[in-house]
Amino acid sequence: MTQDELKALVAQAALAHVVPGSVVGVGTGSTVNHFIDALGTHLRGRIAGAVSSSEQSTQRLRAQGIEVLDANDVESLPVYVDGADEIDLRGCMIKGGGAALTREKIVADLTRRFICIADESKYVQVLGRFPLPVEVIPMARESVSRRIRALGGVPKWRQGVVTDNSNLLLDVGGLCISDPEAMEAEINQWPGVVTCGIFARHKASLCLLGTPGGVRTLTF
């Protein structure tokens, strides 16, 4: 199976975890696009709407006839479905390749169950092979970069990309994230950092992993 076929497979499997009549948290990215299309095909009219983590996903949800609610109007969500750039053996993730990490964390914080959908190439023993996105306010780009270098990381400004929050992104290579919780807490406290793409505090509850043999379910 191709990688895109694996993404479609796990997106379809995620429908079984959507609570009928509820508002669904919806993430961002190519795998989630398959999930949004599946929602529109199979569950439109059977859910109360969605809270979206990006303008891109919002447009796609509305095109499928699904109402998008503001996160401020929702107290909690039973399920949030999103992809990951990497997910480790404990369900901690690196996210933000699609530049939506801050809003993804906000939606994740509202939810009771984070369902990660990914193909098997994203499953790793230790996070860090995929460059870690860090969202920063523009005036802090260089000061945060210096702090990253002091940690042993190699920051690269994702030029030409501005987040939905009008901020900049640094992609950090050279890290071996053996303690995701500690690194997330360290980077997030730096002045000028909006958030980093480590999802350890908001890790996955369950991962639907696409493999050539079918969908593998991992529970954390």
**Each residue of 16-40: pLDDT tens digit?**
999 999 999 999 999 999 999 999 9
Residues of the chain with CATH 3.30.70.260: 132-194
Residues of the chain with CATH 3.40.50.1360: 3-125+201-219
Dump pLDDT digits (tens) for 135-179.
999 999 999 999 999 999 999 999 999 999 999 999 999 999 999
Whether residue 8 is predicted with pLDDT greater than 90 in this model: the reply is: yes
**From its phi and psi, is residue 38 left (phi > 0), alpha (psi between -120 and 50) or beta?**
alpha
Given 55, 67, 75, 104, the catalytic residue: 104
- pLDDT at 1 (0 to 100): 85
Burial of 216 (0-12, 13-18, 19+ CB in 10 A): middle
Which CATH code for domain 132-194?
3.30.70.260
Q: Which parts of 44-177 fold into alpha helices (H)?
A: 55-63, 101-110, 141-150
- Bridge partners, 117 (sequence order): 208
Work out the pLDDT band at 4, boundaries 50, 70, 90: very high
- pLDDT at 61 (0 to 100): 98
- pLDDT at 12 (0 to 100): 97
Whether 192 contacts 144, CB under 8 Å: yes
Whether residue 192 is predicted with pLDDT greater than 90 in this model: the reply is: yes
Dump pLDDT digits (tens) for 104-139.
999 999 999 999 999 999 999 999 999 999 999 999
Dump pLDDT digits (tens) for 77-103.
999 999 999 999 999 999 999 999 999
Distances (CA, A) of 156 to 32, 93, 132, 161, 199: 26, 20, 10, 12, 20
Whether residue 206 is predicted with pLDDT greater than 90 in this model: the reply is: yes
Name which CATH class applies to 3-125+201-219. Answer: alpha beta
Work out the pLDDT band at 42, boundaries 50, 70, 90: very high
- pLDDT at 90 (0 to 100): 98
Q: What is the mean pLDDT of the chain?
A: 97
Q: Is 67 a catalytic residue?
A: no
